[in-house]
A = this chain, B = another copy of it.
Amino acid sequence: MKKTAEEFAKEQKAISISEFFEKNKHLLGFDNPTKSLLMAVKEAVDNSLDACQEAGILPDIVVKIKNVKEDIYEVMVEDNGPGIVKEQLARVFGKLLYGSKFHRLFQSRGQQGIGISSVTLYSQLTTGEPTKVWSKIESQKKTHYIELHLNTVTNEPDIMKQEDLEKGVLGEHGVKVVMTLHGRYRKTVEDYLKQTSISNPFAKILYTAPDGTKITYPRSVNELPKPPKIMKPHPYGVEFGTLQRMLQKTASRTILSFFTNEFSSVGTQSAKEICKIAKVQADAKPSDLDRASIEKIIKAMQAVKIQRPPLDCLSPIGASEMERSLKKEYPNAEFVTAITREPSVYRGFPFLIEVGIVYGLQGETSQKGGKKNKEEDEDERNGEAIELVRFANRVPLLYQQSACALTEAVKQVDWRRYNMDQKSGSLPSGPMKLIVHICSVWVPFVSESKEAVANYPEIIKETKLAIQDAGRKLSSFLSGKHRAGEQKRRMQIFDRYAPEIAGALSTLTKSDKKVIEKKLKELIASRIHIKEEPENVEAVEAAGKENKNIKNKTEEEED
């Protein structure tokens, strides 16, 4: 043996979580300069939105990016949120796996306690610059200011400077953060802010780009959405280890009250049924249950019919809000629709899918060119894949599209049923923007950078059903459009031949050619009523609904 167990032993040691992520910074989303700059903006803005929304404040957010030199950028994000107390300020920005969101079943943008501290880690790794934070809370007169690094050995903040400022840079309350890092500036920052504005219509964002350009993303709604409630786990999908821990920790005295107290959607009736199926006494002490009983309970929990989780634990954008917002954003679209599904559950976590469709997008350049350009533009776009826009808890997902469960679901849908072109297993093609939003108290991302949703079968299934719901609406519109197009083409043919027929008739009947031609045209127009726009969409939809039930059935069988 070249190396003994004792020699190996000398090399065994613990790895700090910060060392791990420093070496694996791509896991946090810092795998190229463009993305790194976006990550800094995104983590700060997402935190601001979360804080404002939870505190019940309409968010006013200021974002400014400055090109310090060459590939070094300064990112500043300021909000009017509740602020962060002095004692916790450094850890929120300078310790990985620290935060208020991980331990609550609560729909929020952040969930891991990693995001903003990872920007501190990346900044110091690429420029050595500390993160600078100002925080003002309502109950204190002074603004607290700190400069910090993240100590990669201890995973604790190294505070380099800290002081209370008499004259605040902030209003009554809020946080301002400045981070200096290696990056590259691209329009992705604007894409992110624009999409964020669509999914958070209650937020106002003022943005200054590195070249000084200022963009305002205004509030289009003056009210915050109803705040999602913190929820208890749903029994479907709870695992052995989780249940075991819950049984040990619970204050409930009987297994019956344990079920009704610690889970959502479980009433006495369901709780009794679980006990019956699992052959466990309803008045048994939770911590007394042995492994065999826990196993039986797990099975019984899946077997008993339990209500879906309550709607109020999730905060979707809402079908009508999304539709309004999309119509505002794409005023020239031919067709816009949106749907919100009922919540479903994976691993005990409720989630919900929303889908929006914008069809018949006109290229911004050809918009002025009128009808002909529009048609050409559409023809060109027909061959291209649709644009897929993904959101998770109102946060736009701009990277790793092909690794995402939402994308997978879009590909798995048979779009030809909805009159769209599609190579099997690919995104459909055509002039369409498809919005897919997942809301959940815990979104399972494929990596810490939160760019793509993991392929849980329940999530793919629900997303497919949501797309199919929206797809049926699209399909009705498209067949109406198709019929209108057919009629128009027929009319054009008659139109072309009318002068010749009129000429012939004029020779035969010796009447005035022009009179005949005029009458012919009137006849055609009266028979085939042509409009520039396709037929009334509601009417077409209503007609389409007759077949809906049958279609629905077939689709469910397919899944």
A: which residues have CB within 8 A of B? 1-6, 8-9, 11-17, 19-20, 22-24, 26-27, 31-32, 51, 54-57, 82-85, 87-88, 91-92, 95, 97-100, 102-104, 112-113, 124-128, 135, 137-139, 173, 182, 227, 239-242, 244, 291, 294-295, 400, 402-403, 442, 444-448, 452, 454-457
**A457 and B137 within 8 A (CB):** no
**A99 and B12 within 8 A (CB):** yes
Measured in the bound complex, the distance between the Cα atoms of B402 and A295 in whole Å is: 37
**Residue on B with the closest CB to A31?**
B454
**A240 and B456 within 8 A (CB):** no
**B92 and A19 within 8 A (CB):** no
Which among A100, A104, A139, A291 has the greatest number of chain B C-beta atoms within 10 A? Answer: A100
Q: How far in angstroms is the closest Cβ of chain B from A140? A: 9
Measured in the bound complex, the distance between the Cα atoms of B242 and A124 in whole Å is: 9
Evaluate whether A97 and B1 lie within 8 angstroms (CB atoms) in the complex, with A103-B15, A447-B446 already known.
no
**B139 and A17 within 8 A (CB):** no
By Cβ-Cβ distance, the 10 closest A-B pairs, closest first, are A2-B56, A125-B241, A11-B100, A403-B403, A5-B137, A15-B97, A26-B454, A9-B85, A5-B82, A5-B83
| Copies of chain A in the complex | 2
**Residue on B with the closest CB to A452?**
B403
Which residues of B sit under 8 angstroms from A82, Cβ to Cβ? 1, 3-5, 8
Measured in the bound complex, the distance between the Cα atoms of B98 and A11 in whole Å is: 10
**A138 and B173 within 8 A (CB):** no
Measured in the bound complex, the distance between the Cα atoms of B82 and A444 in whole Å is: 38
**A102 and B2 within 8 A (CB):** no
Q: How far in angstroms is the closest Cβ of chain B from A392? A: 14
Measured in the bound complex, the distance between the Cα atoms of B208 and A290 in whole Å is: 32
Q: How far in angstroms is the closest Cβ of chain B from A352? A: 19
**B9 and A87 within 8 A (CB):** yes
A-B residue pairs in contact (CB < 8 Å), sample of 24: A3-B56, A3-B82, A4-B138, A4-B139, A8-B55, A8-B82, A8-B84, A9-B88, A12-B99, A13-B100, A14-B91, A14-B98, A15-B113, A16-B97, A22-B241, A26-B454, A32-B457, A125-B239, A128-B241, A128-B291, A128-B295, A182-B240, A403-B452, A446-B446
Q: How far in angstroms is the closest Cβ of chain B from A188? A: 15
Which among A24, A51, A103, A452 has the greatest number of chain B C-beta atoms within 10 A? Answer: A24
Which residues of B sit under 8 angstroms from A11, Cβ to Cβ? 100, 103-104
Which among A83, A97, A447 has the greatest number of chain B C-beta atoms within 10 A? Answer: A447
**Residue on B with the closest CB to A400?**
B403
**Residue on B with the closest CB to A54?**
B3
Q: How far in angstroms is the closest Cβ of chain B from A69? A: 10
Q: How far in angstroms is the closest Cβ of chain B from A427? A: 12
CB-contact partner of A4 in B55, B98, B102, B242, under 8 A: B55
Q: How far in angstroms is the closest Cβ of chain B from A283? A: 23
Which residues of B sit under 8 angstroms from A91, Cβ to Cβ? 12, 14
